[in-house]
Chain A
């Protein structure tokens, strides 16, 4: 890291260095991990269940003691501080609202514990922010799931924590409400400017809300970056398959041509910009070539001559097609990849593109990415489908 350590800049950063968690039964939930969450950002920890994302969050909250490593909040080391001494608040999965207290008292709980006497104004303002002013005297069980969720957010935010931790906060809500709350949380985060660390297994949720996403798998961070960076430039097969869908082709490095690598796959050649390849590229070495389904164009074999020069092409036969409305999804049977997925927008439909038709798939080399072939080609497929 070459950033200048200006006090203002790191004032509210969350810095985890080398933290890991091994439980008494020998299970390692989190492998030694370094992570910096910049102040004021919306950060998502994304992964399937059991990948260590919640454990990481709980170590920041102080609910779990790390086996190794340190946790810094700004300049303050908090690794061994109990939760009630940390300037951090959590929105728990299924909210954990106090059932014996009304909404007002739930929200006032943190203020009262810090000895603040006149809480009325602050609580009312906070309930206004989450649009629950009318419900102040109700008990949690009288509210709907979405309202309870907002109470949980208000109860945490009112303390102006340095970091707000959200543990699958939308998991219990139905799809429509979830969408609505995603926008709501994003709005609140922009409004209050507090660092949010959001744990989720829902890739769409992570991508729509977060500035930075860390994809976790088996206790490790697979890749960290902006949502578009992760999607366009996956570094591992897990990220490629977990975030959206990727077509991965096994290929062999043939020659290098300037900034491009030329690869052999099946009978044909594919071009890949070297800058978009995260694998070592020695001649004769194996590389996994990937491309997203929506980057591919589909042309009937009869019109193959009209395809512009310089595009990567693969021939195959349509196995299935399903009409989605906004697009049509094809599964292509090709020699290099048995189930090649292609999404074509429904602008002008070519009626010849029906199951059984011979087609040419072609895409720009700039949309191609290269991955290390030593990895499991199907890593993350099931987890991605489950999420």
Chain B
């Protein structure tokens, strides 16, 4: 990971001369890292309980739909990229492009929520629920807590989309950066949750 961050630095279009900048306000980052720490604890618990009962976890995992999980990941990654482009458009003074980017990003959030509801529906139809076994307990809790984050994030991005309609070039982007940082965290957490639940064999 260190390599990635460093490689990113050297290719940074802003160049190394410019002062280092933390997107948004520092509070958002405190929140994001604290939230990520809680999820990391959950990942540890999941792997630990999986270690106690690998056969149960593996057989239950096979009931999950990889296609749903994979497409969900693609949706969130795309949404994240659209938000980056939206913030970039505001920074570069192409403010007229921002509402479109943020609006499509929020639409991706809605698509994710709809797809998760469908996925839960299929599980319930198959008689699988929160209390079915240890694996499905983690499945419903981790994806459910994440879904809560997606719902909050979708609202934030939708509000930013509406707000960006009235921005003029040179506007302050701190609020947009803060919302974007949260949304990227939601993406990042799914990038971890998806392989843990769906792909670990």
A in complex with B: no
Q: Which B positions have Cβ atoms within 8 angstroms of A?
A: none
> What is the interface of chain A, defined by CB distance below 8 A to chain B?
none
